[in-house]
A = this chain, B = another copy of it.
Amino acid sequence: MLVVQKFGGTSVADLERISSVCDIVSKSVDSGNSVVVVVSAMSGETNKLIGYANELSDNPESFELDMLLSSGERVTASLLSIALNERGVLAESMSGRRAGIVTDATHTRARIESIDPKPLQEALDSGKVVVVAGFQGVNSDGRVTTLGRGGSDLSAVAIAGALRADLCEIYTDVDGIYTTDPRIEPKAKKLDRISYDEMLELASLGAKVLQNRSVELAKKLQINLVTRSSFTDAEGTLITKESNIMEEPLVSGVALDRNQARVSLGGVCDRPGIASDIFGRLAKSSVNIDMIIQTLGVDDKTHLDFTVPINELLDAKPIVESFVNRGEIEEASYDENICKVSIVGVGMKSHTGVAAKAFATMAHENINIMMISTSEIKVSMVIDEKYAELAVRALHGAYELDS
């Protein structure tokens, strides 16, 4: 089997951890696998370098940042390769450049355009484990680029795609995807399998194990992704296509997102295109709108409610206020004390009554639902933040996720 194994910063935090990674890699090699390893910088390194750059400049050039930040992964790659060779596991490190990873020219958040699998394949064919510095590539101009947050995961998935690997394992300090956050509901259970789409919904809803970009790429390339811990032997969670999941659960997980704020607009003027104006201006300022609800009040006036990430509320306010000042909106209020709880599951597609059960559960706990949005595989509800944990636990129990 051809396996790509990716180890994040905490998994290679020091020489002892690198040694543990050697155990994992050599175990995979011993079981007959061909292995490509993708590594992040040792934890803390990237932040240290960013700290340096920010002390030196308020606005460091992005291509200089890439030159700077790409060094951490190179260090880990060579150290791991040295450690593997010392154990008799033939290994070779490669920079992103050497591994054939070509990106666009968007420094600090480049997109992978292509991977030439030849150098990787040749090294694999000669019986070597290849250790690739993650998070980096080169643009067509030959300059080093980095891939932004979660970049090493992307490197791993893209390499798995280029090599048509059987499996891409993402090792972190978390042992898989859970039915909900175990810190909120201790009865939360680790999922054996989950579909790409469910994972995408869970990640965007606040389950921070994998970045959406990696899951999207894995879905596109149809790569079987496993997320597991490098600190334990426990099996992780397989993220795969829906057809690989035998028994589709109604609901796979309950996600919580505390990072939302609600904007409520009352008395929105009745001019055609007013909503498009408001949301157009917000989009232009890079404010991400999540849920939108438009209602006609008893007073015959239009109400518009929407949610934005809390840290974008500051950007959103002046835009909204400009409409208020122009008299096109009568009143605007902002509420940061909300949260969004969601249930996610591919089984919803073919079953009815899933959403109704969620609403009933909320009602039973006397939790007022402020906003609702649904997709094929998800029901999201905005509620008062103080009920966050209660709602998660109640839903987790209602869908019997602890059994």
Name A's B-contacting residues (CB within 8 A).
Answer: 15, 18-19, 49, 52-53, 55-61, 64-65, 67-68, 70-72, 74-75, 77-79, 81-83, 85-86, 92-93, 95, 98, 142-144
Contact = CB atoms under 8 A, between A and B. Distances in A.
Contacts of A57: 82-83, 85-86
Given A67-B78, A67-B93, A71-B74, A55 B15 contact: yes
Contacts of A78: 53, 64-65, 67-68
Contact of A52 (B15, B56, B142): B15
A74 B67 contact: yes
Given A57-B85, A61-B85, 14 more contacts: A53-B78, A53-B79, A53-B82, A56-B83, A57-B83, A60-B82, A61-B81, A64-B78, A64-B85, A67-B81, A70-B74, A71-B72, A71-B74, A98-B143
A75 B71 contact: yes
16 contacts: A15-B56, A49-B75, A56-B82, A56-B86, A57-B85, A58-B86, A60-B82, A61-B82, A64-B78, A67-B74, A67-B81, A68-B82, A70-B74, A71-B75, A95-B144, A98-B142
Contacts of A68: 74-75, 78-79, 82
How many copies of this chain does one complex carry?
A: 2
The winner among A75, A85, A143 for most chain B CB atoms within 10 A is A75
A67 B56 contact: no
The winner among A81, A98, A142 for most chain B CB atoms within 10 A is A81
Nearest to A58: B86
Contacts of A49: 75
A58 B88 CA distance: 13
A120 B113 CA distance: 28
B56 A79 contact: yes
Contacts of A92: 64
The 3 closest A-B pairs by CB, nearest first: A57-B86, A68-B78, A71-B71
A56 to B, nearest CB: 4
Nearest to A77: B67
Contacts of A74: 67-68, 70-71
A82 B58 contact: no
A56 B18 contact: yes
The winner among A65, A71, A95, A144 for most chain B CB atoms within 10 A is A71
Contacts of A144: 95
A238 to B, nearest CB: 32
Contacts of A86: 56-60
A95 B81 CA distance: 22
Contacts of A15: 52, 55-56
A18 B143 CA distance: 24
Nearest to A57: B86
A93 B63 CA distance: 9
Contacts of A56: 15, 18-19, 79, 82-83, 86
The winner among A78, A86, A142 for most chain B CB atoms within 10 A is A78
Contacts of A143: 98
A51 to B, nearest CB: 9
A297 to B, nearest CB: 52
